[in-house]
């Protein structure tokens, strides 16, 4: 895997984004809702950097299933989400690719009538946007590559990498072999 962003670069970008968020919500209580599972690392870092009264919750949204890098049908589960009615809400996700996930999750969350609803993403993948929205806070712009690490996965692996890496075709083949060998043992 080729490193795109080091651990130090990721930390600096998250700090910059946290400063922007803090300035936007100064003097307000903020409800942060992370999109499971990719945003977990980002949410953990953000809440430690924000000196605001914060509530934290999650919503589940997924469009990738199994061994694929191709988006499928989006599934949203809001049963885990905090009550956001009448609250200032920041939706946090790992990556803004085509934008369909963020767009549909925002639509779903608006049904709960928050006072305000903004979004923050770690990554904005260049050249892939297919919707008319844009995240309010973006830590990094990246090229159109499949990435893992810092919460992002391939087949639920690599989320724990402290850096962001591009997953190359050879890496996918190595991963498939590792899974096959694990099933034999």
Domain assignment of residue 174, given as a range:
2-184
| pLDDT attached to residue 61 | 87
Centre a 10 Å sphere on the Cβ of residue 124 and count the other Cβ atoms it contains: 18
3-state DSSP call for residue 42?
A: helix
Average pLDDT score over residue span 39-43: 97
Phi, psi of 106 (to 5 degrees): -60, -45
DSSP for 149-167 reads BTTB-BTTBSTT-SSEEE-
Between β-strands 116-125 and 88-96, what pairing exists: parallel, antiparallel or unpaired?
parallel
Buried-state track 80-118, b at ≥16 Cβ within 10 A, e below 16: ebbebeebbbbbbbbbbbebbbbbbbbebbeebebeebb
| Per-residue model confidence (pLDDT) at position 72 | 58
Does residue 136 carry a catalytic annotation? no
pLDDT, tens only, 57-110: 999 987 655 544 455 577 787 788 899 999 999 999 999 999 999 999 999 999
User: Residue 182 CA to chain centroid, in angstroms?
Assistant: 29
Which of 102, 68, 106 lies closest to 84, judged by CA?
106
Computed over every residue of the chain, the mean pLDDT equals: 91
CA quadruple 41, 43, 44, 45: dihedral positive or negative? positive
Residues with Cβ within 8 Å of 15's Cβ and at least 6 positions away in sequence, in order, are: 49
Is pLDDT at 17 greater than 50 in this prediction?
yes
Q: What is the pLDDT of residues 104-124, one digit of tens each?
A: 999 999 999 999 999 999 999
Indicate left, alpha or beta for 151 from its phi (over 0: left) and psi (-120 to 50: alpha). Answer: left
Whether the pLDDT of residue 20 is over 90: the answer is: yes
Q: Is 175 helix (H, G, I), strand (E, B) or coil?
A: helix
Task: Decide if pLDDT at 148 tops 70.
Answer: yes
Instruction: State how many domains the chain has.
Output: 1
Q: Active site residue: 97, 132, 144, 156, which one?
A: 97
Write the CATH number for 45: 3.40.50.2020
Q: CA–CA distance from 9 to each of 61, 131, 146 (Å)?
A: 27, 28, 19
Residue % of the chain over a pLDDT of 90: 75
Residue 68 confidence (pLDDT): 47
With contact defined as beta carbons under 8 Å apart, do 31 and 55 qualify?
yes
Please report the pLDDT score of residue 63 as a whole number. 67
- pLDDT of res. 141: 97
């Amino acid at each position: 895997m080729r490193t795109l962003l080091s651990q130090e670069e990721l930390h600096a970008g998250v700090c910059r984004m946290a400063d922007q968020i803090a300035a936007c919500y100064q003097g307000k209580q903020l409800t942060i809702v992370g999109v499971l599972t990719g945003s977990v690392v980002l949410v953990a870092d953000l809440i430690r950097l924000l000196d605001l009264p914060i509530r934290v919750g999650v919503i589940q949204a997924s469009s990738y299933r199994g061994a694929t890098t191709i988006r499928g049908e989006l599934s949203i589960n809001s049963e885990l989400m905090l009550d956001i009615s009448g609250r200032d809400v920041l939706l946090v996700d790992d990556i803004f690719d085509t934008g369909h996930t963020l767009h549909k999750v925002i639509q779903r969350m608006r049904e709960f009538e928050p006072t305000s609803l903004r979004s923050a993403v770690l990554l904005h993948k260049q050249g892939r946007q297919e919707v008319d929205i844009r995240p309010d806070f973006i830590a990094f712009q990246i090229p159109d590559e499949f990435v893992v690490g810092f919460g992002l996965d391939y087949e639920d692996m690599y989320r724990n990498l402290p850096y962001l890496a591009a997953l190359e075709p050879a890496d996918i083949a190595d991963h498939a072999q590792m899974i096959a060998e694990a099933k034999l043992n």
